[in-house]
Structure 1
Amino acid sequence: MVVPPFVMPALFYFQEAYNCTERNEEEFVDKMVMYYWGPCPTCAIATKFADEHGIALDLRDVEQVEPYNELLALGGDANKIPYLYDGAQLVEGIDAVMDRLKALA
């Protein structure tokens, strides 16, 4: 089978996104993962709350390629950050993220 050259980047992209999720599956067990963007003031509200209440988060900045690909592989959209992932469920948006964090506090 011959794959046209313009298809190769897309195949590589989706394979990398899949590999990111598969490779990091065990890491999600210890801490919840928060996908955020460093300069985002809304994300800062959630990270500050987690810090103040001793909630351990694995912070992953979607401006970096690997966290961005992980989020996409989980079905997220980097334009709708923050996201919280506990290994089973992806929680989207500041209201839902804060509700989840408050339940843990």
Structure 2
Amino acid sequence: MHDIKRLRQHADEVKAAIARKGFDADVNSALALDERWRDLTKQGDELKAELNPASKAIGIAKKAGNDAQAEMDKARGIREQAAELDDQKRDLKAELETILLS
């Protein structure tokens, strides 16, 4: 299995080493998948950062006896987006691991 960190840092060297051994690994695809996975991870982290204040707003509204439905809808939407990103990340990770194992 190839190390994605090494691929990121030394892509040309890894490509040359793989070619010398007579193998054909799709390093460029692996790097593209890794970049997409890292982007989705960043987006997920940003969503989680949005969820914290939304959750706090729900608690404040409920404590004050106000309707918190808008805040709850916002939090639900954020959680759904985060879950979708997690699904996409899982699929990308599986595809990436398949390439790294070849």
Q: TM-score, normalised by structure 2?
A: 0.32
Which one has a bigger Cα radius of gyration? 2
Structure with a larger share of its residues in strand = 1
TM-score (norm 1): 0.31
Higher share of residues assigned helix: 2
Structure possessing the higher relative contact order (Cα contacts under 8 Å, 6 or more residues apart): 2
